[in-house]
Amino acid sequence: MSDSRTTPRDVAAVWRDHDLLVLPSRREARGIVIAEAMACGRPTVATAVGGIPDSVVDGVTGLLAAAATEDAWVAALERLWRERARIPEWGANARRHVSTLFSDDPVERFATLLLDLASPGTALNPSASPGMAE
């Protein structure tokens, strides 16, 4: 019986041999592969769908294709080629940026998010919105 778990060392080994991530998704929540690439100092070229723009900052940590269409991807890849000298810069930015997206303590981050969402005047607590009848 083999152990099929992937370790951080395995992920780092994969990214040592690759310069960047190309992710032409039509739908994507956030994409753990983006976080893995960024943590290894690799920029991402991806479609601007779902949660991807929350991770990939166009022209800073990689590039975003405007849509999941052939024309949008041709434009993004042509831009990548023109700006290929920036790949190391984007990778360094990606590595710094990913640390701002994920907390060392996910429980604390989740609790903070819940408290923020339940604060007066939010969608989860609209009755406490300013201007609402008490």
Does residue 39 share a domain with residue 27?
A: yes
Does residue 45 share a domain with residue 14?
A: yes
Residue 1 lies in a domain: no
Residue 109 lies in a domain: yes
Residue 30 lies in a domain: yes
| Residue 19 tokens, joined | 């310069």
pLDDT grade for 132, boundaries at 50, 70 and 90? very low
Q: What is the pLDDT of residues 66-107, one digit of tens each?
A: 999 999 999 999 999 999 999 999 999 999 999 888 766 767
Residue type, 58: D
pTM assigned to the model: 0.69
Q: What is the pLDDT of residues 53-71, one digit of tens each?
A: 999 999 999 999 999 999 9
End-to-end alpha carbon distance in the chain: 63
Nearest-angstrom CA–CA distance, 62 and 25: 15
Residue 59's domain is classified under what CATH number? 3.40.50.2000
Does residue 62 share a domain with residue 28?
A: yes
- Counted domains in the chain: 2
Q: What is the pLDDT of residues 38-56, one digit of tens each?
A: 988 999 999 999 999 999 9
Does residue 121 share a domain with residue 88?
A: no
pLDDT for residue 129 is more than 60: no
Residue 2 lies in a domain: no
Q: What is the pLDDT of residues 5-14, one digit of tens each?
A: 767 677 788 8
Does residue 60 share a domain with residue 97?
A: yes
Per the structure, the complete domain to which residue 120 belongs is given by 103-134
**Is the Cα dihedral 37, 38, 41, 46 positive or negative?**
positive
Does residue 50 share a domain with residue 28?
A: yes
* CB distance 88 to 43 below 8 Å: no
What pLDDT score does 110 carry? Answer: 73
